[in-house]
Amino acid sequence: MSAYLKSFASTTMLPFELAYPQTHRLYGEVVHQFIESLRQEDGLDSATKRVTTDPNFDNRASPATCAGLADLLQAQLPPISEMDNPERMGRPKDYKLQKTLHFTAPLALLDAAVKFNFKRPDTGIRNLYVAQAPLNDLPKELQDDLPVPKIVKKAGKGDIYDSSIWLGLEPTYTPLHRDPNPNLFIQLCGNKIVRLLPPASGERVYREVQSRLGTHLRVNSRLRGTEMMDGPERYLMHNAIWNQVADDQELPRREMQEGMLQPGDSLFIPKGWWHSVKSEDDAGRLNASVNWWFR
């Protein structure tokens, strides 16, 4: 992280998402290893609770920051007993056993994760995502670096409904949903793939999934909660949009549009259009986007 961003790292609190557990087939669970690395960065041997004599310690992050990040992250992890039964978690039996954790943490957590991945790129942490953080919550200096595009100011009534930054370690992912306002989405770092469906087609896909879940008579596609982030709805919706080959006889998927966004690219998403977004890569590198909803 640059010296410029470091001045905000410990004081800027942001909403994080983290997929847990993250088990590497050879090296074990990665989130716990990241927490352990934070404690070691703190100059503290977590097994013996003794100060280390590492000569490089003076060049590392402040002990309070690393210890605080380790404790904060540890407190978010659910007991293993809650993670050992897919059916108890409301998932199909073949669903990859993983939960999306939601918590607030300083920007310094992402900085620490980037450093962790730099040291071990093939076995680093993944799916750590600052998702839909309001730009108004950023320090003014950072807000000034993300000015409202002129097209947003001049489109429609010129009324900016909201804006967000999306910043994290690949793979990043946003499930299928629709917004109540037009959306200008701009890619800043890394690449993202966006798949879109017109309102009626997206509604059909959504209703198909709800029918399979047995909830189609009591759900409103305009009101979505945590069910879109975890459990069988996310699993089935992801398969419907990303894992199934489009069939020309299936109207919803035949009308699906796809776009690849590279840094500097922008995409206009009309009001009510369903869309799902994911990073092109999954190697744990930084990926960043920003968007504005307007009326």
User: What is the average pLDDT across 10-28?
Assistant: 90
In the chain the beta strands, taken as DSSP E runs, fall at 13-20, 23-24, 28-29, 44-45, 50-51, 99-106, 128-134, 160-169, 173-178, 183-189, 192-197, 257-261, 266-269, 274-279, 286-294
Torsion of CA 121, 74, 229, 188, to 10 degrees: -40
Residues of the chain with pLDDT > 90, as a percent, come to 56
The pLDDT, as a whole number, for residue 155 is 86
Average pLDDT on 113-127 reads 93
Provide the pLDDT for residue 288.
97
- Return the pLDDT at 43: 60
- Model pLDDT, residue 1: 57
As a whole number of angstroms, the distance between CA 114 and CA 37 comes to 12
List the single range of 74-83, 122-131, 178-187, 221-230 with lowest mean pLDDT.
Answer: 221-230
As a whole number, the mean pLDDT across the chain is 83
Across residues 195-221, what is the average pLDDT? Answer: 83
Q: Is the pLDDT of residue 30 over 50?
A: yes
Condensed to tens digits (0 to 9), the pLDDT of residues 90-100 reads: 444 444 568 89
Q: How far apart are CA 241 and CA 261, in angstroms?
A: 18
pLDDT higher than threshold 80 for residue 178: yes
241 — phi, psi (to 5°)? -95, -40
